[in-house]
Structure 1
Amino acid sequence: MSELTAADAALRAVPRPDGSAPLALVLGATGYIGGRLVPRLRQAGYRVRVLARDAGRVAAFPWGDSVEVVTGSAEDPDAVREAVRDVDVLYYLVHSMAAGPGFDRTDLRAAETVAAAAAAASVGRIVYLGGLHPSGGDLSPHLRSRVAVGDVFLSSGVPTLVLQAGVVIGSGSASFEMVRHLTEVLPYMPAPRWVRNRIQPIAVRDVLHYLLGAARVDADVNRAVDIGGPDVLRYGQMMNGYAAEAGLPQRAIASLPVFTPGLASHWVNLVTPIPRAIARPLVASLQNECVMDDHAVDDLIPPPAGGLTPYRRAVRLALGRVAADEVETSWQDSEVLGAPSDPLPSDPDWAGRTAYTDERSTLTSADPQRLWGVITGIGGDNGWYSTPLLWAVRGWMDKLAGGVGLARGRRSRSRVAPGDVIDFWRVETVEEGSMLRLRAEMKVPGRAWLELRATEADGGSRYDQRAVFFPRGLAGRLYWLAVLPFHGFVFRGMANRITATAEAESTGRGQVAGVL
């Protein structure tokens, strides 16, 4: 573990008078922020208890076996009373935004249940992550609900710190995913007026910093404070900042007066994978400018070591485009935890980069060694075991586009090693006897890999083949749709002929006719 900075030390748990570690209760531990906060609380020296409807979901996290689990919901008084027992700090990260109409009433009931139980159990502090909003004026239903929940805790009699954050930047954050998908899909965006509204985004690592620090504020602090990153941007600027970091052209954005929040949420749902139940409250919240009114938080929680994360750097982190030696190496971001901006398996399936795949699996009577021999001999003079004309056409197209084409061949007919060239692919990984992964070097609007595996199976072996394509912008998505009709010929034929060749070689019949 690296040496702690002063800011890091301020996030460490303070032992109880008897020397034991303080107990943190996290409600919403399986959500986006909660799933990242729990392991950091553990590393900071807290014992952690979570309240969750499904203990199985908790067990699926890497930290699942290191926390105490109380099964139930925030609306269940009995479960909440059990959960708050002997708790020093309670983190409330629950909201019902995706539940649809009536979510505000559900949130209010849950907050009232938790506040009453926390007061009765003499919980030391409540920390609530609310929404950044302007003072005065009409708020969206989502922001009104966040303010109402915060008020319940502030009037509970338990010292409460409400941290009011705007758009959180990190892979898996619904707000960030909306920016990601809109920018990736739309080279031109007819947009509502809110694209001109000012927003103060904050990196997820900085949100976690403030959440950890909130447990250490003085016992007499009972208030709401704004938190945000160092940049104040218009929503359109956020989209174009993402485009620049993702290697996309700048997006033309036209502000149109005809988009109501309802129409805009339909539009977001149409062009992105984000469910409308989540898109609607997010879009409605963007009707309000979300900028910090003050920086009172600076008097309560020391800023992160090195300062707050600028928006563009937060995007780079979310995209995984920051080199390992550029990432902070403080105890907050150890290899065990991973970077806060990294995706988690628990993130929704619409989060993260868009990836298209074509997967094939075939059983063969050939033994794994024979199948592996065919796999490692692919390309060059041996060809690609499927529709030679289509592969040739693809090579010509690549040449016309300024790419390398198929002419590079390969160095050896039977041996492969990382870094080797095989036509317009490069060997990225070799697991001897079992897996070959190739990275495409042809001209495509995105990044592509081809993975071939041989594993032992009853009476022979199993051949697994997976093509993965990460599109870049709209062009990448259109490219995948254009080549999709040919995948049945190319990839299915490839899988069938590789296994057939392995079987033929096992029986001494040589290579299958028509492969080259």
Structure 2
Amino acid sequence: MSNDNARHAAADPGGALSDPTGHESALRAPVDAEGAVPRVLVLGATGYLGGRLAPRLLNAGYRVRVLVRSPERLASLPWAGEVEVETGDASDVEALVRAMDGVDTAYFLVHSMSGGKGFASKDREIAQAVAVAAARAEVRRIIYLGGLFPHDAELSDHLASRKEVGEILLGSGVPTLVLRAGVVIGSGSASFEMVRHLTEVLPYMPAPRWVRNFIQPIAVRDVLHYLLAAARVSPEVSRALDIGGPDVLRYGQMMNGYAVVAGLPQRRIAALPVFTPRLASHWVGLVTPIPRQIAGPLVESLQNDCVMHDHDVDEMMPRPAGGLTPYREAVRLAMGRIAFDRVETSWVDAPVQSAPSEPLPSDPDWAGHLVFTDTRSRATVASRAALWSVIQGIGGANGWYSPPLLWAIRGWMDRVVGGVGLQRGRRSRSAARVGDVIDFWRVEASEPEQLLRLRAEMRVPGQAWLELGIAEGDDGLEYRQRAVFFPRGLSGRLYWLAVLPFHGLIFAGMSRRIVDLAEADAGAAQ
């Protein structure tokens, strides 16, 4: 059921370098009469939310300092050179006091759940250290992101720890805002990744009774809005505030909402009373890449409804421009634009202007859309021109430089299921331009003597690309070849496994034949 479906948030094309909510005055750093800009400290800057908040604080005009144990972890983040870096542990009071010197607001975005057992005691230790250090350093405000929880039920270890940390900070004597959020929807959020992978893998899901519990998910962009706005709340306010998105859903509805956005059939979900939290966490660990030490506490936290108990936050802070993001829109943003260029930003680098729902280099390796690849490379003595001539001539009458029978079978299979097969050929035997058709592929990128990228137009349960390129290797030129597949649901994963044995014949033979032909052509030219 929806509390505010009329409010619909648009996509965030600007990300970090434009105001992510549109509420410029409500989020900009306040400047005092002498022109001084507030300094904020972010604890957990290499984590999921901290890594997304820091560049938005910079964009809002704040001076940002981070405390990290390993400064080298910041190296891959595009904003690393714009922040002050202090080295130390968040449980070390003296390190915290040094980091908090001259700080107006401290963001507490540390959570030790990924460390496995004992996370509650570790988080308690950190919270106590932060409380002491903030009081000694005369920090004006602490902002902490906790979890939504029912007030009349026994809490899981995870939610009990979040509650305890909030209480410690509120008792520090330093004005504190505890923002309590439920499931955060964004690529890299552990709760969202659990929804993503369970839905992608399982067309039928035997599940615990908690799939019928109510949850109020919130888009990561809205969480970041509230975190930014919290720094502008009146300094005398010290309390907890619930935050959530406009939709209240059962967990099973969240899974099927993801399925709709992902273009998957509705999942059949059977609530079974015999599924204990421990058994359910093993089940999640088996069918998703999320580590069991994270999946376990998350599953236990789903035993109760997690919805907002009040909307007092609306009296303290403005809502995002355009309203809170509906669940399915948040999922769409979290999935990103499923296209080849997102492969690179998912796994290698994320631009400063990325939307907050996109992956960052600091995200865990199990975050983001599942990607299968087959990568080949071969050193060659052929010239770039000779190699490029062979590459851009692939397909059509020239063939695919690997066993023709296998390609003929694949083309026939595509025709049987209503695809285009290999009948289209290609317009030119010697040139490949963007938009050209090459059998059941289409040219997506063509950079002379560098790269040819083909997007598959055959019928497959997912999206596929074939990339043929030329690069400088250690001992001269290298031919580089990569097949990329984004599977859709369980059928996509099974399809990749089914064709995997043929890759050795097709792709290995292709890379070898392309290099051989280029070298032969180069030799003939001499």
Give the TM-score normalised by the residue count of structure 1: 0.94
- Aligned ranges for residues 467-478 of structure 1 at < 5 Å? 467-478=483-494
2:308 maps to a residue whose letter is M
Cα distance between partner residues in 2 of 1:506 and 1:15: 66
- Aligned ranges for residues 18-417 of structure 1 at < 5 Å? 18-321=34-337, 336-417=352-433
Cα distance between partner residues in 1 of 2:434 and 2:75: 37
1:414 maps to a residue whose letter is S
Cα distance between partner residues in 2 of 1:209 and 1:359: 40
2:255 maps to a residue whose letter is M
The correspondence for 2:517, drawn from 464, 487, 501, is 501
Task: Give the direction of change, closer, same or farther, for the CA distance of 1:504–1:227 in structure 2 (3 Å limit).
Answer: same
Map Cα deviations across residues 420-449 of structure 1 (whole Å, 9 max, x no partner): 000100000011111000000000000000
8 Å CA contact 1:318, 1:341 repeated in 2: yes
Q: What's the offset of the Cα at 1:509?
A: 9.0
Cα distance between partner residues in 1 of 2:203 and 2:474: 51
Question: Secondary structure at 2:27's aligned position in 1?
Answer: coil
Question: Secondary structure at 2:49's aligned position in 1?
Answer: helix
2:127 maps to a residue whose letter is A
Cα distance between partner residues in 1 of 2:143 and 2:387: 57
Cα distance between partner residues in 2 of 1:367 and 1:179: 49
8 Å CA contact 1:25, 1:50 repeated in 2: yes
Cα distance between partner residues in 2 of 1:6 and 1:272: 36
Question: Secondary structure at 2:406's aligned position in 1?
Answer: helix
Name the residue aligned to 2:507: 491
Name the residue aligned to 2:9: none
Q: What's the offset of the Cα at 1:456?
A: 4.1
Cα distance between partner residues in 1 of 2:338 and 2:57: 25
Task: Give the direction of change, closer, same or farther, for the CA distance of 1:457–1:179 in structure 2 (3 Å limit).
Answer: closer
Cα distance between partner residues in 1 of 2:331 and 2:223: 15
8 Å CA contact 1:40, 1:337 repeated in 2: no
Name the residue aligned to 1:331: none
8 Å CA contact 2:19, 2:60 repeated in 1: no
Cα distance between partner residues in 1 of 2:52 and 2:372: 27
Task: Give the direction of change, closer, same or farther, for the CA distance of 1:483–1:287 in structure 2 (3 Å limit).
Answer: same
Question: Secondary structure at 1:462's aligned position in 2?
Answer: strand
Name the residue aligned to 1:326: none
8 Å CA contact 1:365, 1:459 repeated in 2: no
Cα distance between partner residues in 1 of 2:427 and 2:274: 60
Task: Give the direction of change, closer, same or farther, for the CA distance of 1:457–1:267 in structure 2 (3 Å limit).
Answer: closer
Give the TM-score normalised by the residue count of structure 2: 0.93
Q: What's the offset of the Cα at 1:460?
A: 5.0
Task: Give the direction of change, closer, same or farther, for the CA distance of 1:87–1:509 in structure 2 (3 Å limit).
Answer: closer
Map Cα deviations across residues 299-339 of structure 1 (whole Å, 9 max, x no partner): 1111111110000110111112599xxxxxxxxxxx84321
Task: Give the direction of change, closer, same or farther, for the CA distance of 1:142–1:376 in structure 2 (3 Å limit).
Answer: same
1:387 maps to a residue whose letter is P
Task: Give the direction of change, closer, same or farther, for the CA distance of 1:267–1:8 in structure 2 (3 Å limit).
Answer: same
8 Å CA contact 2:215, 2:251 repeated in 1: yes
Map Cα deviations across residues 463-498 of structure 1 (whole Å, 9 max, x no partner): 000000000000000000000011011100100011
Q: Are positions 1:430 and 2:431 aligned together? A: no
8 Å CA contact 2:93, 2:132 repeated in 1: no
Cα distance between partner residues in 1 of 2:64 and 2:474: 46
Output the aligned Cα RMSD.
Answer: 1.7
Question: Secondary structure at 1:164's aligned position in 2?
Answer: strand
Cα distance between partner residues in 2 of 1:208 and 1:178: 21
8 Å CA contact 1:161, 1:224 repeated in 2: yes
Query: When the two structures are aligned, how many residues end up with a matched partner?
Result: 499
Q: Percent identity over the alignment?
A: 68
2:165 maps to a residue whose letter is V
Structure 1 portions without partners, runs of 5+: 324-334, 511-516
Return structure 1 stretches of 4+ with deviation > 6 angstroms. Answer: 1-6
Q: What's the offset of the Cα at 1:251?
A: 0.2
